Amino acid sequence: MVRAEGVHKSYGQVEVLKGIDLEVRQSEVFCLVGPSGSGKSTFLRCINHLEKINAGRLYVDGELVGYRQKGDRLHELKDREVALKRRDIGMVFQRFNLFPHMTALENVTEAPVQVKKEGRAAAKERAMALLERVGLADKAGNYPSQLSGGQQQRVAIARALAMQPKLMLFDEPTSALDPELVGDVLDVMRGLAEDGMTMIVVTHEMGFAREVGDALVFMDGGVVVESGHPREVLGNPQHERTRAFLSKVL
């Protein structure tokens, strides 16, 4: 579903991704862990067309991110084409980014494409089903300010799902939550994994990574230091840098 080949990304003089190679298979829960500043968010943003890579190749579902290939030449995608591709990718951030003036149901219904494609009644019906899926049917009429952080994050997940994405990206989805609310959000993510959703999850929740993850990459300083099955990497890290990081978070 995602393939990175020698992906580099710099901000000005600062090289943040220094040649990332990895592969995420269909229906896999792929966990990305590493210290702050190691480039995890940047990598997700590159996958989601929010940043342009400087070198290498990045593919989502077999298609190059950001470019169209004609013969040997690459042509940058136009904004309209990028917008179309982004519909296939759902993204959930640390902060929930809901529209404060809309109810939970409206936040999910108004995922813009849905309304256009299906008409408002059908979009609303599907939004309701999604709120049910994240356990919030009874909060459909609440505004974000009337929801806990964990509930807001579950609405954000429902909203991302409303686009019927092929791939979900989670950027530390539970880091901003009070500890007692983390479990509900992780349960929703576990449910998505059971339904076969392909997910890339940047997380410090090593319990989740161990139980639900199919693959885990440890990134540090813009490179992949170590990768493998989460139980292997977490249980028997091969590199000193991985061990040092895990000793702080486990």
* Piece of the chain touching ligand ATP by CB under 6 A; list 8-16, 73-81, 147-155, 236-244: 8-16
The answer to the question of residue 173 lying near ligand ATP (CB under 6 A) is: no
Query: Which one of 4, 24, 28, 40 is in contact with ligand ATP (CB under 6 A)?
Result: 40
Smallest distance, ligand ATP to C-beta of residue 2, A: 16
The answer to the question of residue 16 lying near ligand ATP (CB under 6 A) is: yes
User: Dihedral angle at the C-alpha atoms of 64, 68, 69, 70, nearest 10 degrees?
Assistant: 170
The answer to the question of residue 139 lying near ligand ATP (CB under 6 A) is: no
The answer to the question of residue 39 lying near ligand ATP (CB under 6 A) is: yes
The answer to the question of residue 36 lying near ligand ATP (CB under 6 A) is: yes
Tell me which residue has tokens 């000793």. Answer: 247
Sort 60 into a burial class: Cβ within 10 Å, 0-12 / 13-18 / 19+: buried
The strand pair at 167-171 and 89-92 is best described as: parallel
The answer to the question of residue 247 lying near ligand ATP (CB under 6 A) is: no
Smallest distance, ligand ATP to C-beta of residue 7, A: 12
In angstroms, rounded to a whole number, what is the distance separating the alpha carbons of residues 160 and 108?
8
Pick the closer one to ligand ATP by CB: 14 or 248: 14
Query: Which one of 25, 26, 27, 37 is in contact with ligand ATP (CB under 6 A)?
Result: 37
- Count of residues in the chain: 250
**For the stretch 156-191, what's the b/e string if a residue is b when 16 or more beta carbons lie within 10 angstroms of its beta carbon?**
bbbbbbbbebebbbbbbbbeebeeebbebbbebbee
The answer to the question of residue 38 lying near ligand ATP (CB under 6 A) is: yes
List contacts with ligand ATP (CB under 6 A): 11, 14, 16, 34, 36-42
